[in-house]
Amino acid sequence: MSDSTTTAGTAPGAAAARRTGRTEETADAGGAGTRLTLGGRSVRCTSPAEARLLWNEMSSEGFYRRAAARLRPGDVVVDVGANVGLASLAFAEAQPEARIIALEPVPELFSCLEENLAAHVRNGTAVRAAVCDAPGVRTLQYYPEAPGNSGLYADREADDEVTRTYLRNGGMDEESIELLVEDLHEGRPVEVDAVTVSQVLDRHGIAEVALLKVDVERAELDVLRGVGDGDWSRIRNVVAEVHDDEGRLDAVRALLHDRGFVSRVRQDPGLKGTRLYEVDALAG
């Protein structure tokens, strides 16, 4: 695992949008990944189209935006599954005096995350690691054409179907959908170091977490189970994307309830018909 400290899902359709090529024209290629402008900032990413859609997601009336509005100067945000750091940038935009610890295990994405935090987050730390229920080395499936859908429990068939539903909800015809989805979730295994949330708190000297953001493609319970019993009192707010497979949404909410959190659930209209939900949980 490597740390880089500076002093400065995922919309499933984002991956498919990359293949239209419509946003590539504005990107300035060079170095690792591709550079483009989002919200007046020059950022580095591996997929400009995905980055644009993810940035729009951060700007919508979802739970991320509401959580960002609650941040105060000096608050600490732990961004688990940071990708290239767009959520971290949104949190820093809402509260420039926040301290942000952003974790991302995939080397290509981490390189972009590290650069974006250095350029745009006053007090940001990029950590190259997955977050799980126990430390060690894990193998995740990385989708180069759909980086935001990569994860420890990537499921190509399920990920294809979520993308199809998202695109149908947006009005795309079936022939175009199949052309976009074909080979979209062709992945390769990547070995990554894994840590727990409690290890992150201890290693970075964090006394209180204002916001624990979790976007880890079906590994939500693993992340939450990696919070030690004595550390839950240090967390004020959890916002997570949850894949409701095999009762995972109820399990996440039950775990949070048992730790004294009150949660609410929403589903983005574009994801109607899928099992993707957002959970916002506040300590009682």
Inter-CA distances, 3 with 103, 158, 271, Å: 9, 33, 34
Tokens 């060079």 map to which residue? Answer: 30
Band of pLDDT at residue 53, cut at 50, 70 and 90: confident
Choose between 87 and 27: higher pLDDT: 87
Contact call for residues 135 and 192 (beta carbons, < 8 A): no
Q: Does residue 238 fall inside a structural domain?
A: yes
Domain that holds residue 221: 2-11+60-283
Mean pLDDT value across residues 52-77: 91
Which residues are CB-neighbours of 250 under 8 A, at least 6 positions away?
Answer: none
Residue 75 has pLDDT above 80, yes or no: yes
Choose between 32 and 258: higher pLDDT: 258
Band of pLDDT at residue 92, cut at 50, 70 and 90: very high
pLDDT digits (tens, 9 = 90+) for 240-256: 999 999 999 999 999 99
Mean pLDDT value across residues 16-40: 59
85: burial class by Cβ within 10 Å (0-12, 13-18, 19+)? buried
Of the listed ranges 52-66, 143-157, 201-215, the least confidently predicted one is 52-66
**Residue 76 belongs to a domain with what CATH number?**
3.40.50.150
Q: Nearest-CA neighbor of 3 among 155, 200, 184?
A: 200
Q: Does residue 227 fall inside a structural domain?
A: yes
pLDDT at res. 14: 53
Contact call for residues 88 and 82 (beta carbons, < 8 A): yes
pLDDT at res. 23: 38
Residue 2 has pLDDT above 60, yes or no: no
Q: Does residue 229 fall inside a structural domain?
A: yes
Considering its fold, how many domains does the chain have in total? 1
pTM over cut 0.85:
yes
pLDDT at res. 274: 97
Q: Does residue 36 fall inside a structural domain?
A: no
Q: Does residue 19 fall inside a structural domain?
A: no
Mean pLDDT value across residues 149-153: 96
Residue 68 has pLDDT above 50, yes or no: yes
Mean pLDDT value across residues 5-26: 44
Mean pLDDT value across residues 114-143: 98
Q: Does residue 235 fall inside a structural domain?
A: yes
pLDDT digits (tens, 9 = 90+) for 167-219: 999 999 999 999 999 999 999 999 999 999 999 999 999 999 999 999 999 99
Q: Does residue 17 fall inside a structural domain?
A: no
Q: Does residue 31 fall inside a structural domain?
A: no
